[in-house]
């Protein structure tokens, strides 16, 4: 009862705080006068304003929608009992992300000018927080969850700002910023909160990992929405949507990879549905950074196939090691599903950046690598930047996670 | 068996009647020659034709889609058993709404020229009817439901015509026309059909109010689609989507409000999911009229927070009073979820209208308050109109409901 | 265990084969230079390139999305147990369809240039394969399913190529290519695989045909997405969307038809939900070819009403005959839901083609019947072509099915 009172009070306090901060700082973006934006506000973020004015409104719809498509998938992993808490986390993370990201990206003359773009970036941030909570689910109470969200959103935004704005890394689908950061942040919190007596319940949690309606609906949602998601930030009307095609092929190949391994590892066919979902999420994580690059169709197939192999192997061989040696408990297996594929995706993105040539990309170059297109960087420099972003993200995630824990 | 025969016969008769009426009256709108529409037909309805030609087609998709997103949410409240009947109601309400609304809005030379716009307005009407049926669910048989739909659609269209076309009220999201009308119409029908012996089953119905997969899927659907929904009728390509942002913030704040009250009112955390859904629906109802106005981000947060407080308090303190004193049974709590928030939304819309200035709205003024922009009304007159629309709606809904009952 | 090993090995082999074929043949379409496409590649397929460049990208999203909306509906028919296998089928069918269709439509200089269009046509093909598997579900193992997919995709593409490219048939919604082909192909496979001892389990399968969450979610998905689906290939910005309106009315009328028959045929009201889903699918099949033609609103209502009557009558009177006389077992009733309505839709399309006049269609003529608009065919010739397409499809489907079986 005391904990319920605490939860109620904390929600009230946080909401009042947010309302006051919004009242003081947040205003609608003066988008109706488009000239203002490009001159005064830091609109170059995510390179979306150059010629992006027209289709922006609809893309926002798609993205906000996709962010929640993701949510459905996560929900399916965490079970019906924790859905209400997950939605609370989402509701608070969005408000907080609008504020924190506003201070970094949209701050001018003491006001945050927020527009549709703020919603999209808040959705990205929320996805990372949901991944983090997956690692500690069942071992922290709602009040701790809210505090974890408070710190997680702040650190996520800091990491994203360093990567995208300061280092000029291309990571439109969030391999690093969303999947890798979310996974390792959550894992470190889980490490710090480790309690020896919980180990016994591990076996029990594993058996609760059963296929249900949510797993099916979540997977189908990802299949439907994900190809649009990866391309939403980079879509141009007259360019063939590489990101969509790459996502599409990565997805189908990861599903076949599941069926290569699952029949060998698991006896019961009822567990296969969960494997498919894991593979789908892994293929998302691996294609996040490289999605808009020149992966080529067969490259996307190979990448997706490899990504689909990671979760089953990870659950079988890596999770027990993590649990016994490093004392990291990973309730929902975010390391296998988001962490490792995210790192693989970052390495793939680096490789493709190093191989990029102006001829192969054409007009697309300005979109994917604006700094290279402007001549201020070579593709090798860009590839180094992409590579450096990986340890930076890992460092921030682990340090932040330890601190939060 | 006799009732099943009745249902079958009534469906057959109504379908034959609709087919004949369609054959006599309904034709495709001659949209291919856009000049015709603006000159001869009453195309000024909902102020959508001025510059709306281009994105209309896709907006219609979104709206039709959203109408059914709503449906999913309603279904979750009414249980799997009544889903089939709900879909029957929807199927008939759409046909009938196209006819009735066609006679009022799109009638020319003895023919109804129907286009994509007819589908959208029929979907709005269907949403109101679904809200009404929520109040009487479980106490009327399918045949009565169909007759209630027949009258409800007619009265809804009449009310909508008076408000939008005659009084020039701005109510793009349907705070009054959909939520308030639907709730009070249903409640009056429920009052008239009151049978004392049913009172005993009230307690039983309350316990059946459990969280299930539908509540989760419905809530997530609303989260995904609602922000698009409120803005679909008012979207312009080069204007920042205020309605989307307002909806977004209202939504997240209402969720936090749920977590302020629910832990205090309810012991079991399993009931929280239903509270979240109620809060989500309430925040929709409250933001219906004001969505496209200058709510400001923190205003949207405050409004959403207040709206989220209404349903839990209403269920705890108001529903028992309604039931014992006024002998109104409210199976699904539509008064708390749609009625009261709808009234609050109308009052908020009135306030914001009175405060509107041409400077703050800019080019948006013509869109939100076309009569004010044309100079034929001051904002005070418009605010009075908005305010008068509330008693008109309540009167029509209660009278109509009594008559139908 | 041996069968699981077989499945794993086959998946691995097929994926490796696909990757190699993709590496050798498939390249991104050089869409960034739009001039190239219209000159060298066979871009006239499905008549979509004339003025279609601009909205293509979003339409693809919608279609890909819809393809999977369909999937959800199919899943609901086949039960949770077979979902994993269905997704495997989808994942492989998409890869194989991109290859096979690429060789027929997008082959140039020894390379397949694939773009967004390839995804859409692969989704169509996958839908047909899912229909086919519905007929044999529960009687073949996953390995046989994959081989059936391998042959089915090839034959589907052959049939589609003959109909659309060689004969110039208009079948944008796939009445013939998707529904009729898929149903009869599956039925013939089922006929060949007939085993007498299975007859006894028929009764048992029928009782397993219960309403569940999937039936509801699937039906609502179809209601939401189908009107967009039929129009996606033919949408123009300044033309009133006939296909959407036709789909919309066909849908609602088929639902009322369900309620005319179901109360008479079935005692329990819990079975009605499944009837609604069958009627919805049937109204999709019947409106596939005629959707973009001048059906008129009341014509769409009548067609939908008739289509809605087919499945309940078929299940009652035709399925037992099929089973006992022709020894064709039809696990999911694809003959009643897809086969017969598809044939009816083809006949309706023929009738409407014969009645088409340049006056009534206006600028739409070039879109629906490009060969007629170019003057190289009269409407009578076109109607004959549409009619001939029916026996061609039936012949290919039955021959192919026998061979595959």
Q: What is the pLDDT of residue A202?
A: 43
Between chain B and chain C, how many beta carbons pairs sit less than 8 Å apart?
141
pLDDT of res. A227: 64
CA diameter of chain C: 66
| pLDDT 10s digits, A369-397 | 777 777 777 878 888 888 888 888 888 88
For residue C74, the model assigns a pLDDT of 58
Residue B55: its pLDDT value, please?
A: 42
DSSP state of C356: -
pLDDT interval class at A48 (50, 70, 90): very low
Q: Report the gap between the CA of A261 and the closest CA in chain C (Å).
A: 7
Q: Answer whether A273's CB lies under 8 Å from A216's CB.
A: yes
The two three-digit tokens of residue A198, written as one number = 């919980």
Average pLDDT over residues A4-9: 84
Residue B39 located in a structural domain: no
Count Cβ atoms below 10 Å from residue B373 Cβ, excluding itself.
17
Of B26, B64, B214, the CB nearest to C298: B26
Residues 6+ apart with CB under 8 A from A344: A286, A306, A307, A310
**B neighbour chains, 3+ CB pairs within 8 Å:** A, C
Per DSSP bridges, beta strands C26-28 and B111-114 are unpaired
Report yes or no: B143 and B365 within 8 Å, Cβ to Cβ: no
Report the alpha-carbon distance of residue B95 to residue B14 in Å, rounded.
10
- Which chain C residue is nearest to residue A244, measuring alpha carbons? C116
Query: How far is residue B202's CA from residue B211's CA, in Å, rounded to a whole number?
Result: 18
* CA pair distance B100, B154, nearest whole angstrom: 6
Q: Which residues pair with B27 in a beta bridge?
A: B113
| CATH number of residue A218's parent domain | 1.10.3430.10
pLDDT tens-place string over residues B224-260: 666 665 555 554 444 556 777 788 788 888 888 888 8
Q: Is C130 on the interface with A (CB under 8 A)?
A: no
* Tokens read off for A62: 């798609």
Distance (Å) of CA C383 to CA A148, C39, C349: 66, 30, 8
User: Does residue B27 belong to the interface with chain C, where contact is any CB pair within 8 Å?
Assistant: yes
How far, in Å, CA of C208 to CA of A176, rounded? Answer: 46
Confidence at residue B51, expressed as pLDDT on a 0 to 100 scale: 34
Of C260, C270, C364, the CB nearest to B8: C260
CA pair distance C17, C10, nearest whole angstrom: 10
Are C216 and B92 a contacting pair at CB < 8 A? no
Residues C403, B146: Cα–Cα separation, whole Å: 51
Chain B closest-CA separation from residue C13 CA (Å): 38
Angle at A223 between CA C220 and CA C95, to 5 degrees: 120
Q: Quick check: C255 and B23 CB within 8 A?
A: no
Cβ contact A97:A157 at 8 Å:
yes
Q: What is the pLDDT of residue C351?
A: 85
Contacts of C31 in chain A (CB under 8 A): 238-240
How far is the C-alpha of B285 from the C-alpha of B278, rounded, in Å? Answer: 11
Which chain B residues touch C248 with a CB distance below 8 Å? Answer: 64, 94, 119
Cα B338 to Cα B24: distance, rounded to the nearest angstrom:
37
- What would the pLDDT profile of A143-202 be if each residue is shown by its tens digit? 888 888 888 898 899 888 888 888 888 777 778 888 888 888 888 888 887 665 544 444
C-alpha to C-alpha distances, C47 to A23, A83, C40, C119, C369, nearest whole angstrom: 54, 46, 16, 16, 9
Q: How many CB atoms lie within 10 A of CB B67?
A: 24
| Binding partners of A (≥3 Cβ pairs within 8 A) | B, C
Closest Cα of chain C to B95: distance in Å? Answer: 7
Structure ipTM: 0.77
Pair of tokens at residue C93:
């069918």
Among B307, B278, B302, B288, CA closest to B247: B288
Place of tokens 């391999």: A175
Separation of alpha carbons A175 and A230, rounded Å: 11
Q: How far apart are the first and last CA of chain B?
A: 24
Closest of B398, B400, B395, B353 to residue B378, by C-alpha: B353
Measure the N-to-C terminal CA separation of chain C; round to a whole number of Å: 24
The SS3 call for residue C273 is helix
Give residue A39's pLDDT: 37
Written as tens digits, the pLDDT of chain C (405 aa) is 777 888 888 888 888 888 888 888 888 776 543 333 333 334 333 333 333 333 444 555 555 555 555 555 555 555 556 777 778 888 888 888 888 888 888 777 788 887 767 777 787 888 888 888 877 777 778 888 888 888 889 889 988 888 888 888 877 777 788 888 888 888 888 888 766 554 444 443 443 444 466 666 667 666 766 666 555 555 444 455 677 778 878 888 888 888 888 777 776 666 677 788 788 888 888 887 777 777 778 888 888 888 888 888 888 887 777 777 777 777 667 788 888 888 888 888 888 888 877 777 766 777 677 777 777 778 788 888 888 888 888 888 888 877 776
Answer yes or no: do C276 and B213 touch at CB < 8 A. Answer: no
Any domain includes C63: yes
Edge-first strand listing for the sheet containing B111-114: B26-28, B111-114, B107-108
- Which structural domain, as residue segments, surrounds residue B116? 57-196+212-404
Within an 8 Å CB–CB cutoff, is residue B256 touching chain A?
yes
pLDDT at B297: 81
Distance CA B102, CA C52 (A): 32
CA distance C144 to chain B (A): 34
- The confidence score (pLDDT) of residue C314 equals 84
Q: Nearest-5° angle of CA B61, CA B66, CA B70?
A: 155
Which residues of chain C neighbour A251 with C-beta distances below 8 Å? 91
* CA–CA min distance A190, chain C (Å): 32
B281 touching A, CB under 8 A?
no
- The verdict on residue C229 lying in a domain is yes
Those of residues 198-217 in A touching chain C at CB distance below 8 A are 211, 213, 216-217
More confident residue, B232 or B375: B375
How wide is the angle at C-alpha B149 spanned by C-alphas B145 and B153, nearest 5°?
Answer: 170
CB contact under 8 A, A31 and B253: no
* Residues C363 and B32: beta-carbon distance below 8 Å: yes
The four Cα atoms C74, C75, C78, C80 give a dihedral, to 10 degrees, of -170
Whole-angstrom distance between the N-terminal and C-terminal Cα of chain A?
A: 24
Q: H helices within B193-326, ranges in order?
A: 202-207, 213-232, 242-265, 272-286, 297-313, 319-324
Give helix B242-265 / helix A2-25 axis angle, nearest 10°.
160
pLDDT of residue C136: 78
| Number of residues assigned to chain A | 405
- DSSP for C38-60? HHHS-TTGGG--TT-TTTHHHHH
Q: Tokens 């405050």, residue?
A: B302
**What pLDDT, in 10s, does the model give residues A286-331?**
887 777 777 778 888 888 888 888 888 888 887 777 777 777 777 6
Average pLDDT of span B391-395: 82
Helix, strand, or coil here: C30? Answer: coil
* Contact present, B144 and B100 (Cβ < 8 Å): no
Give the position of tokens 């609901």: C76
Q: How is residue B387 written in tokens?
A: 């305010």
DSSP B100-130: HHHHHHSEETTEEEE-HHHHHHHHHHHHHHH
- Of B32, B94, B95, which has the smallest distance from its Cβ to C239's Cβ? B32
Model pLDDT, residue A270:
64
The residues, any chain, with a CB within 8 Å of residue B176's CB and separated by 6 or more, are: B163, B169, B288, B289, B342, B345, B346, B389, B390, B393
The pLDDT-based confidence of A351 (bands split at 50, 70, 90) is confident
Nearest CA in chain C to B53: C238
3-class DSSP state of A113: strand
Mean pLDDT of B63-71: 54
Residues C164-183: b if buried by 16+ CB within 10 A, e if exposed: beebbbbbbbbbbbbbbbbb
Residues A316, A121 contacting (CB under 8 angstroms): no
Between the CA of residue A256 and those of A96, A161, A307, C357, what are the distances in Å?
39, 37, 11, 49
Determine which helix (DSSP H) or strand (DSSP E) holds A108, and give its type and residue range: strand A107-108
Q: Name which of A240, A298, A246 is nearest C115 in CA terms.
A: A240
Q: Bridge partners of C113?
A: C27
Q: Percentage helix, strand, coil, to 5, in chain C?
A: 75, 0, 20
The tokens of A395 are what?
A: 């460092």
Say if C89 falls within a structural domain: yes
How far apart CA C96 and CA C22 sit, in angstroms, is 10
Give me the mean pLDDT over the A255-269 stretch.
78
CA distance C293 to C354: 11
In a domain, C383, yes or no: yes
Strand partners, B111: B108
Confidence of residue B49 (pLDDT cuts 50, 70, 90): very low
**Which residues have C-beta within 8 Å of that of residue C372, sequence separation ≥ 6?**
C356, C365, C378, C379, C382
Strands C111-114 and C26-28: parallel
Whole-angstrom distance, CA of residue B163 vs CA of residue B176? 9
Tokens of A118: 């703020």
The number of folded domains in chain C is: 1
Cβ burial C298-336 (10 Å sphere, 16+ → b, else e): bbbbbbbbbbbbbbbebbeebbeebeeeeebbbbbbbbb
Point out the residue among B228, B260, B305 whose CB comes nearest to the CB of A61: B228
Residue A20 included in any domain: no
Interface check for B249 against chain A (CB to CB < 8 A): the answer is: yes
Among all chains, which residue has been given the structure tokens 């871009």?
Answer: C43
């Amino acid at each position: 009862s005391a904990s319920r009172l605490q939860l109620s009070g904390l929600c009230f306090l946080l909401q009042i705080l947010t309302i006051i901060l919004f009242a003081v700082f947040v205003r609608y973006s003066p988008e109706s006068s488009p000239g203002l934006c490009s001159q005064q506000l830091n609109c170059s973020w995510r390179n979306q304003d150059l010629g992006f004015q027209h289709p922006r409104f609809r893309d926002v719809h798609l993205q906000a929608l996709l962010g929640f498509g993701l949510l459905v998938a996560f929900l399916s992993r965490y079970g019906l009992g924790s859905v209400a808490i997950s939605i609370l986390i989402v509701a608070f993370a969005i408000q907080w992300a609008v504020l924190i990201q506003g201070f970094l990206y949209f701050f001018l003359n003491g006001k945050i000018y927020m527009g549709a773009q703020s919603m999209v970036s808040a959705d990205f941030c929320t996805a990372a927080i949901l991944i983090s909570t997956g690692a500690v689910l069942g071992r922290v109470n709602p009040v701790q969850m809210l505090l974890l969200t408070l710190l997680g959103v702040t650190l996520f935004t800091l990491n994203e700002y360093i990567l995208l704005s300061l280092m000029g890394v291309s990571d439109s689908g969030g391999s690093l910023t969303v999947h890798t950061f979310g996974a390792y942040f959550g894992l470190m919190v889980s490490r710090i909160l480790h309690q020896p007596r919980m180990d016994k319940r591990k076996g029990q949690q594993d058996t609760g990992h059963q296929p249900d309606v949510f797993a099916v609906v979540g997977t189908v949602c990802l299949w439907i929405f994900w190809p649009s998601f990866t391309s939403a930030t980079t879509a141009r009307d007259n360019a063939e949507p590489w990101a969509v095609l790459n996502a599409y092929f990565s997805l189908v190949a990861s599903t076949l990879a599941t069926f290569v391994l699952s029949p060998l590892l698991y006896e019961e066919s009822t567990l296969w549905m969960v494997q498919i979902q894991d593979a789908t999420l892994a293929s998302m994580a691996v294609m996040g950074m490289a999605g808009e690059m020149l992966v080529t169709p067969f490259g996307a197939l190979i990448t997706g196939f490899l990504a689909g192999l990671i979760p089953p192997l990870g659950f079988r061989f890596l999770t027990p090691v993590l649990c016994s040696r490093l004392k990291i408990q990973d309730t929902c297996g975010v390391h296998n599903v988001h962490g490792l594929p995210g790192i693989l995706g970052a390495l793939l993105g680096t490789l493709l950046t190093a191989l990029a040539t102006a001829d192969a990309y054409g007009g697309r170059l300005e979109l994917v690598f604006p700094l290279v297109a402007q001549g201020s960087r070579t593709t090798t420099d860009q590839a180094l930047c992409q590579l450096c972003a990986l340890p930076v993200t890992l460092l921030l995630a682990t340090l932040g996670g330890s601190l939060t824990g």
